[in-house]
Amino acid sequence: MCRHTNKDMPVPRPFVAQPILAPSFAEAKGVASGAFTNRPATHGISVCTLAAIIMLCLPSEMAFGQQAATEVKPPRIVVCNPLDVFQPGKTKIFLRGRSLKDASEIQTDYPGMSIRIVSHAAAAVPGRQTADETGDEQLELEITLPETVAAGKANLVVVTPAGPSVPRALLVGGDTNVVTENEPNEGFRTAQPLTVPAIVSGSIHADGNVDVFALQLTAAKTIRIQIQAAEAGSNLDSLLTVYSATGKPIAASDDQPLTRDSLIEQTLDPGSYFVIVQDANDRGGPAHPYRMTVTANAQ
């Protein structure tokens, strides 16, 4: 039997971890093109590993064959301002919302109404509010009503290449005299006179804004004052108050069941009164329009 001495045994070499060095971008491209296919694997990197490195080095468009598609959202109408149109002929209104830029048409179910898109623009978002609440785009529309205007509402739909919007109601006409709220009317001294019955098309145009109206009754009557705002998409959380001529509060309404819109029914003696419309949270802006209907029944 042959015996080996320690002298004959090969001395084991200590294991030294060899660093795996990533090739340069040029080398990686060379592997991809076949230029380095016969090169000894001095770095200890497999072809699969190099392919993965190439995918990381290349722009996403080259690595995956196409650029990621941008998400396209359908249009959304937040609110019409004003909330209503009531005169035959042409009227300008604004639609505030999101993803309105590519609108091609406005559809409606109101008989005889035609709508033309005049312009599109970015819309500033008031402080303390968000773009989802108020919209950050607007469309200026020219609406033409027929000679005979029936009281009701028109459902408006914005159409873009991404699809149609959810309908938003625009109030049309009225059963009585319709007037536009006029500034300045923020105090008792500058109150806007109203002749009952009346419909007021108004807006709380800024934070802290209030609209004041003056009523004069020559006989005792039951007054009914109704706000339409939230139900038509307005951000207004209305607070409605009736004051005496001396500034004493007589009646007030914030929310009704199932709606943020206000309603007051109050019997009043002959005399002068003030009606105040404001936002319960002192907010306002172009997404805070309202319609107020004031009627009276004799006692």
Predicted pLDDT of residue 97: 97
Predicted pLDDT of residue 49: 56
Which residues of the chain form CATH 2.60.40.10?
76-172
Closest CA to 129 of 288, 259, 21: 288
Residues whose CB falls within 8 Å of the CB of residue 114, separated by 6 or more in sequence, listed in order: 143, 144
Residue 144 burial by CB count (10 A; 0-12/13-18/19+): exposed, middle or buried?
A: middle
Closest CA to 150 of 109, 104, 92, 191: 109
**Is the distance from CB of 119 to CB of 139 less than 8 angstroms?**
yes
pTM: 0.75
* Complete edge-to-edge strand list for the sheet that includes strand 238-244: 192-193, 210-217, 271-279, 238-244, 249-253
Length, in residues, of the chain:
299
Q: How far is CA 18 from the centre of its chain?
A: 60
**Is the distance from CB of 136 to CB of 122 less than 8 angstroms?**
yes
Angle at 236 between CA 138 and CA 234, to 5 degrees: 40
Which residues of the chain form CATH 2.60.120.380?
178-298
User: What are the residues facing 179 on neighbouring strands?
Assistant: 200
Closest CA to 203 of 181, 188, 235: 181
pLDDT tens series, the chain, 299 aa: 444 444 444 444 444 444 444 444 444 444 444 443 444 444 455 555 545 555 555 555 444 444 445 678 999 999 999 999 998 999 999 999 999 999 999 999 999 999 999 999 999 999 889 999 999 999 999 999 999 999 999 999 999 999 999 999 999 998 888 899 999 999 999 999 999 999 999 999 999 999 999 999 999 999 999 999 999 999 999 999 999 999 999 999 999 989 999 999 999 999 999 999 999 999 999 999 999 999 999 87
Q: Please count the CA atoms within 13 angstroms of the CA of 273 that sit on its side-chain side.
A: 28
Q: In sequence order, which ranges of 59-183 are alpha helices (DSSP H)?
A: 60-64, 131-134
89-98 vs 76-81, strand pairing mode: antiparallel
**Is the distance from CB of 151 to CB of 175 less than 8 angstroms?**
yes
Q: Write out the H or E segment, with its range, that includes residue 26.
A: helix 25-33
Token reading at 246: 């001396």
Predicted pLDDT of residue 95: 97
Closest CA to 177 of 195, 153, 203, 202: 195
Predicted pLDDT of residue 46: 59
Tell me if the domain spanning 178-298 has CATH number 3.30.70.270. no
Q: Annotate 82-129 with DSSP letters as a single string.
A: SSEE-SSEEEEEEEEEES-TT--EEEE-STT-EEEEEEEEE-PPPTT-
Q: Write out the H or E segment, with its range, that includes residue 238.
A: strand 238-244
Predicted pLDDT of residue 51: 53
* Distance, CA of 21 to CA of 25 (rounded, Å): 12
CATH superfamily of 76-172: Immunoglobulins (2.60.40.10)
Predicted pLDDT of residue 38: 43
